[in-house]
Amino acid sequence: CSFHGLALNVNMDLSPFLRINPCGYAGMEMAKITQWKEDATTDNIAPRLLANILALLNNPPYEYIAA
């Protein structure tokens, strides 16, 4: 059995990850976008992430609707 997905930590407390083995790897360190871009928010990251993923899929048509 295999599970795949995407979790993008933008600006959160990463301490809960210290209690688990992320992806089954003991000691794997988690990161968040704000470690590199301090003003990052889900509102300004989500559309860019979507655009980049769709570019990898040859840009199928889409409409971005913010939650």
- Torsion sign (Cα): 34, 40, 42, 45: negative
Q: Residue 53 and residue 39: Cα distance in Å, rounded?
A: 22
- 48: tokens are 């860019």
1 catalytically annotated: no
Catalytic hit among 23, 26, 56, 65 = 23
**What positions carry a catalytic annotation?**
23
